[in-house]
């Protein structure tokens, strides 16, 4: 790369040419600074390399150029990081995400976080645990051993994921024990648990033991079903919970539970790491396949949906919707592909017949030429005119036969050509239907919201879920205010951009489980499951406020987009179309009341 000597670079602002100071100080916006940098490169005849342009740009702007982000080198370092433990996998992934951002601040923050996490291992855990054991056995004012054990268990449960916070809380717990101590003269308080453990049996309440056993069998066992060791330990702990008879058994059981909780946390970390790795692998596979099948629209549509499903956090509603749509589309596409294959086979058969017919016609004309050659020979060898009459008669007969064969072949070829053209049109129509069917799996092509088919399916699914669980479901119908005026003033393209802008704001403002569909024109329907009417009203009002904070640009002009909305709560026995009609009436009432309003249906 050609580099410019220091003498060719622009001087600093303190030593700049006074004749150019005014021009340089007027360059305040990035485009102006860029133009001035290019102008000076041309004026000073400096090679327009990226390094030279960067130097001029930052000199004119009065800023300091950051070093180029070495993404390739850092990615190689990230790939070489160890991944033998869940903690190492998390560290490597944190570093990879920072490198992937391509930003120095993100990389700095990641390195600082990793270093802070590493320094946590230098905390004096040994001294702290030794002091905890000593103070646990030591008598303290107003603190029995059982109460101290309960406090310790509470701290451990509340800070199990943050070792630094756990260390500080344990130190605070020690201070709380010793502050109430009146040194050696303090009277020792009786420990009811210790007294009972001296000989009397202690029975864990039957109801609590059954609840603990049920929790282990129904709550924990399904989550560790793929680990035979943990599954067996869960079964043993569930059985043992029903047989606790004295303090020693309870203490021993508590230790087993602690050990099991630690193993369960490790298992959860491993499963999370596996889940993230599989998601990353799926994303890579989908992205690579999409690049390979850019010309196959029917497959590209399905891959686009899969890519959208894996971009964010996995949600059971999104996955369920994708599965339903893919199944429907795959069935229809399979049918269309069979028809397309049959049509192509018929076309091949017609073309083969066309070639056979041409071959037969060629044979016929070849025979005719042979007859003509034979007749010519016979004519040359004839001695009188009587011999010529037979030759002429044969020539006429063969000519008529050849003409008839040529006529039949022409008709058959014309008919075959029509069949080929019809088959070709049928194939084109099937291919178009195949492409259109692929689009059914995708959302509204303009905004990305659900189309009517997707909206109907989401509505049916949410209604079934609400009736099954006895939960509430609210519908919000939105209509953009003054949309026709926007179209007439700025054009239909600006209107389309406004709809895309509105949907983007809606999607960011609502929950992942809330479905958003384009109901028609400039109307959007939002499904709010597990939401009461007052909560739905608050959601849409918050959406209005968010929309007012984000201006829409039309022809470089800031515009404020507003909407009027009507909200209805779907009764369990109510037809959904009736609820939508009630929301529609409330929406039009909001428009009549002055627009940019939200009203609930009676």
> Which range has highest mean pLDDT (103-107, 238-242, 581-585)?
581-585
Determine the Cα–Cα distance for residues 540 and 545; give it in Å rounded to an integer. Answer: 9
- For residue 193, the model assigns a pLDDT of 40
**Fold exhibited by the domain 452-600:** Alpha-Beta Plaits (3.30.70)
| Main-chain dihedrals φ then ψ at residue 559, nearest 5 degrees | -125, 145
Catalytic residue among 522, 523, 532, 546: 522
Q: Evaluate if residue 511 carries a pLDDT over 80.
A: yes
522 given a catalytic annotation: yes
> Average pLDDT, whole number, for the chain?
75
* Residue 317 pLDDT class (50, 70, 90 cuts): low
Strand partners, 340: none
Determine what percent of the chain is predicted with pLDDT higher than 70: 67
- At residue 244, the pLDDT reads 79
pLDDT of amino acid 309: 61
Dihedral sign for Cα 196, 202, 205, 209, please: positive
pLDDT value, residue 139 = 75
288 compared with 220, residue with greater pLDDT: 220
Whole-angstrom distance, CA of residue 66 vs CA of residue 1: 19
Give the Cα separation of 143 and 178 in Å (integer): 10
Res. 16 pLDDT band, cuts 50 70 90: very low
Q: Which long-range contacts (CB under 8 A, 24 or more apart) does 349-356 make?
A: 350/416, 350/419, 350/420, 350/423, 351/420, 353/416, 354/413, 354/416, 354/417, 354/420
More confident residue, 72 or 200: 72
The pLDDT, as a whole number, for residue 118 is: 59
Mean pLDDT of the region 106-125:
71
Mean per-residue pLDDT, 472-494: 92
Please report the pLDDT score of residue 238 as a whole number.
86
The predicted pLDDT at position 592 comes to 93
Burial group, residue 489, by CB count within 10 angstroms (0-12, 13-18, 19+): middle
Task: Tell whether the model's pLDDT for residue 192 goes beyond 70.
Answer: no
pLDDT-based confidence at residue 597 (cuts at 50, 70, 90) = very high
Q: Which of 104-108, 163-167, 333-337, 495-499 has the highest mean pLDDT?
A: 495-499
pLDDT (tens digit per residue) in 153-181? 777 776 666 666 777 778 778 877 776 55
Structure confidence at residue 304 (pLDDT): 62
Residue 351's contacts (CB-CB under 8 Å, 6 or more residues apart) are 420
Helix axes 125-137, 145-158, angle to 10 degrees: 150
Q: Report, as an integer, the average pLDDT of 45-60.
A: 81
Q: Is residue 253 a contact partner of residue 213, using CB atoms and an 8 Å limit?
A: no
User: Which of 409-418, 480-489, 495-504 bottoms out in mean pLDDT, i.e. has the lowest?
Assistant: 409-418
């Amino acid at each position: 790369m050609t580099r410019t000597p220091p003498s060719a670079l622009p001087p600093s602002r303190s030593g700049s040419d006074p004749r150019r100071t005014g021009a340089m100080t007027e360059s305040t916006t990035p485009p102006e600074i860029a133009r001035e940098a290019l102008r000076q490169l041309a004026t000073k005849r400096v090679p327009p390399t990226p390094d030279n342009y960067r130097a001029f740009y930052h000199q004119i702007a009065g800023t300091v150029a950051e070093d180029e982000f070495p993404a390739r080198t850092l990615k190689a370092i990230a790939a070489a990081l160890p991944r033998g433990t869940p903690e190492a996998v998390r560290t490597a992934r944190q570093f990879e995400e920072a490198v992937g951002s391509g930003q120095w601040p993100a990389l700095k923050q990641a390195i600082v976080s990793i270093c802070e996490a590493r320094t946590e291992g230098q905390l004096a855990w040994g001294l702290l645990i030794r002091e905890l054991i000593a103070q646990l056995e030591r008598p303290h004012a107003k603190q029995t051993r059982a109460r101290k054990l309960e406090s310790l268990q509470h701290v451990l449960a509340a800070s199990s994921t943050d070792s630094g916070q756990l260390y500080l809380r344990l130190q605070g717990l020690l201070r709380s024990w010793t502050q109430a101590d009146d040194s050696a003269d303090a009277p020792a308080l009786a420990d009811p648990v210790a007294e009972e453990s001296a000989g009397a049996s202690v029975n864990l309440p039957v109801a609590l033991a059954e609840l603990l056993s049920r929790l282990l069998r129904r709550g924990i066992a399904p989550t560790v079903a793929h680990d035979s060791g943990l599954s067996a330990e869960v079964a043993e702990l569930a059985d043992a919970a029903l047989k606790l008879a004295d303090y020693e058994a309870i203490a021993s059981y508590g230790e087993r539970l602690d050990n099991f909780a630690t193993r369960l946390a490790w298992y959860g970390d491993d499963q999370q790491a596996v889940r993230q790795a599989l998601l990353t692998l799926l994303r890579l596979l989908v992205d690579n396949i999409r690049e390979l099948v850019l010309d196959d629209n029917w497959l590209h549509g399905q891959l686009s949906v899969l890519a959208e499903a894996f971009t964010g956090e996995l949600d059971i509603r999104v996955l369920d919707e994708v599965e339903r749509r893919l199944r429907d589309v795959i069935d229809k596409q399979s049918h269309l592909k069979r028809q397309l294959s049959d049509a192509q086979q018929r076309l091949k058969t017609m073309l083969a017949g066309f070639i056979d017919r041409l071959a037969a016609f060629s044979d016929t004309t070849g025979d005719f030429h042979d007859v003509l050659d034979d007749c010519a020979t016979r004519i040359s060898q004839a001695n009188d005119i009587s011999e010529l009459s037979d030759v002429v008669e044969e020539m006429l007969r063969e000519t008529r036969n050849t003409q008839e064969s040529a006529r039949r072949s022409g008709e058959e070829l014309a008919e075959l050509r029509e069949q080929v053209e019809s088959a070709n049109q049928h194939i084109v129509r099937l291919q178009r239907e195949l492409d259109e069917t692929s689009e059914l799996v995708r959302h509204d092509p303009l905004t990305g919201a659900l189309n009517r088919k997707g909206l109907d399916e989401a509505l049916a699914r949410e209604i079934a879920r609400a009736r099954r669980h006895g939960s509430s479901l609210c519908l919000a119908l939105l209509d953009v205010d003054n949309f026709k005026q926007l179209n007439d003033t700025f054009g239909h393209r600006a209107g389309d951009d406004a709809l895309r802008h509105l949907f983007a704001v809606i999607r960011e403002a609502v929950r992942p489980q809330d479905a958003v569909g384009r109901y028609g024109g400039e109307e959007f329907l939002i499904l709010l499951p597990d939401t009461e009417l007052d909560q739905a009203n608050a959601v849409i009002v918050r959406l209005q406020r968010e929309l007012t904070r984000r201006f829409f640009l039309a022809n470089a002009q800031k515009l404020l987009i507003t909407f009027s909305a009507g909200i209805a709560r779907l009764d369990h026995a109510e037809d959904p179309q009736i609820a939508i009609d009630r929301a529609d009436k409330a929406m039009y009432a909001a428009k009549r009341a002055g627009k940019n309003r939200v009203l609930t249906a009676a």
